[in-house]
């Protein structure tokens, strides 16, 4: 679950990481008031979850309250990176001397939290990483022992920092690690970490991604509909289903991420186009009813293609849900299905008897049939 910048900065403030003075607003009038209250030149930042908002025009500067109101009015309600902007963070404009980069994420290979930092922060950090990887300092943190001050200092020195800057950076990094651990983050990132003209170090941005699989114990965070690209994806997630809308016309229902991706690959291979990604494997197989419902909501869908080869997802249970959905929702589109795995005999029996569906012998046959029906 991605946090908005203003939410991340609240966590930072609570733990003592310096952030700019700022106020979150939802209207142009409030943006003007916030600018007046801050009493300085301000920056007005659209609160969206995707990166790249700066280049897309989602950040504006304002020297007066009037300018702040205007800038806010221009951004609010606009579409940025497929998100509708409804919240703005109005912040004091920093006098930026230099921009650093600092992140903690997870190194799957070393199985440890990984600190990445660079003296060359800002919007071009990915280019820095590609062109001059030696300018990215990396430190793996032993998970049980945790981040100790000496290791945080070492990062500071490796960035070429000294004196008060090294101390301020060390302090921020130690606190950022506590945010990372305490909130079950998969990513915390400050870009840029600004050194101001008067030598202070301030987190000018805040990215905090809570690992979705830890939300059960991170009870301060609820992943509501605003965190999804659209309402259907949100609803899918509530049923435990992974759903992504795509451009084609073959409605896909599959168990397991790997098989689902393979089915999409095969559809493309045979010249068709999938209407969606939809995975209902794992412990959520009972939700095959909801899966069918979601796919049928999409008006682009011309053919429904079901592929399962379940392990924990038992074919018989899946088929019960599907049969129920077909009986109740009465889809007009043709349905192609290949249902295999644990309980496959009973599953075929259910589909045949209850809804007259004759499953295909394997995935590729099913895909070829669906592509043909969809006009591919």
Q: Pick out the residues of the known binding site for ATP.
A: 45, 52-54, 91, 94, 99
Contact residues for 188 (Cβ-Cβ < 8 A; gap 6+): 8, 103, 104, 105, 176, 179, 180, 207, 208, 209
The residue range among 67-75, 103-111, 196-204, 348-356 that interacts with other proteins, by the rule CB under 8 A, is: 103-111
Residues 259-298 contacting other proteins, CB under 8 A? 259-262, 264-269, 274, 277, 281-283
Binding flags for other proteins, 306-335, as an x/- string (CB under 8 A): ---xxxxx----------------------
∠ CA 327-273-376, nearest 5°, is 90
Q: Does 143 interact with other proteins (rule: CB under 8 A)?
A: yes
Name the DSSP class of 54.
Answer: T
Tell me how far CA of residue 360 lies from CA of 38, 257, 267, 284, 336, in angstroms: 66, 21, 16, 23, 7
Binding flags for other proteins, 332-351, as an x/- string (CB under 8 A): --------xxx-x-------
One residue of 129, 237, 329, 355 binding other proteins per CB under 8 A: 129
CA 24 to chain centre: 22
68 CB-side CA count, 13 A: 30
Q: How many residues bind other proteins (CB under 8 A)?
A: 83
The residue range among 63-71, 90-98, 159-167, 348-356 that interacts with other proteins, by the rule CB under 8 A, is: 159-167
Instruction: For residues 59 and 190, give the distance between their C-alpha atoms in angstroms, rounded to a whole number.
Output: 17
Q: Does 113 interact with other proteins (rule: CB under 8 A)?
A: yes
Cβ atoms of 64 and 35 within 8 Å: the answer is yes
**Annotated catalytic residue, options 5, 6, 67, 101:** 101
101 is catalytic: yes
189 is catalytic: yes
Judging by beta carbons within 10 Å of its beta carbon (0-12, 13-18, 19+), is residue 160 exposed, middle or buried?
exposed
113 beta partners? 106
Q: Does 219 interact with other proteins (rule: CB under 8 A)?
A: no
**Annotated catalytic residue, options 165, 189, 233, 279:** 189
Cβ 320 to other proteins shortest distance, Å: 16
Coil, strand or helix at 162:
coil
Binding flags for other proteins, 225-244, as an x/- string (CB under 8 A): -------------------x
239 CB-side CA count, 13 A: 22
The residue range among 18-26, 30-38, 61-69, 204-212 that interacts with other proteins, by the rule CB under 8 A, is: 204-212
The residue range among 25-33, 85-93, 101-109, 288-296 that interacts with other proteins, by the rule CB under 8 A, is: 101-109
Instruction: For residues 271 and 277, give the distance between their C-alpha atoms in angstroms, rounded to a whole number.
Output: 17
Residues 40-59 contacting other proteins, CB under 8 A? 50-51
């Amino acid at each position: 679950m991605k946090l908005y910048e203003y939410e991340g900065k609240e966590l930072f403030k609570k733990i003592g990481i310096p952030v700019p003075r700022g106020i979150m607003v939802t209207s142009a009038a409030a943006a003007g008031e916030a600018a007046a209250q801050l009493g300085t030149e301000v920056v007005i930042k659209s609160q969206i979850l995707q990166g790249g908002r700066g280049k897309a025009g989602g950040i504006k500067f304002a020297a007066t309250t009037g300018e702040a109101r205007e800038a806010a009015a221009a951004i609010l309600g606009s579409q940025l990176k497929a998100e509708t902007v409804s919240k703005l963070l109005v912040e004091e404009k920093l006098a930026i001397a230099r921009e650093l980069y600092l992140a903690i994420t997870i190194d799957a290979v070393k199985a440890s939290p990984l600190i990445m930092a660079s003296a060359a922060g800002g919007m071009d950090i990915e280019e820095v990483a590609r062109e001059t990887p030696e300018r990215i300092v990396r430190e793996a943190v032993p998970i049980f022992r945790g981040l100790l001050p000496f290791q945080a200092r070492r990062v500071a020195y490796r960035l070429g920092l000294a004196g008060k800057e090294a101390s301020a950076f060390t302090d921020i990094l130690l606190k950022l690690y506590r945010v990372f651990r305490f909130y079950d983050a998969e990513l915390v990132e400050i870009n840029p970490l600004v050194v101001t003209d008067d030598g202070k170090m301030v987190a000018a941005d805040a990215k905090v991604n809570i690992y979705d699989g830890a939300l059960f114990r991170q009870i301060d965070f609820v992943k509501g509909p605003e965190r999804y690209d659209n309402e259907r994806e949100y609803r899918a997630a509530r049923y435990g289903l992974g759903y992504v809308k795509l451009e084609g016309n073959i409605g896909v229902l599959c168990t397991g991420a790997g098989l689902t991706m393979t089915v999409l690959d095969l559809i493309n291979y045979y010249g068709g186009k999938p209407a969606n990604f939809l995975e209902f494997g794992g412990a959520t197989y009972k939700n095959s009813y909801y899966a069918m419902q979601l796919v049928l909501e999409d008006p682009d869908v011309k053919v429904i293609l079901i592929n399962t080869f379940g392990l924990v997802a038992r074919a018989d249970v899946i088929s019960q849900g599907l049969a129920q959905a077909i009986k109740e929702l009465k889809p007009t589109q043709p349905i192609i299905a290949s249902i295999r795995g644990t309980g496959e005999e009973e599953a075929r029996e259910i589909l045949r008897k209850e809804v007259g569906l004759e499953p295909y012998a394997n995935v590729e046959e099913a895909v070829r049939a669906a592509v043909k029906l969809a006009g591919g």
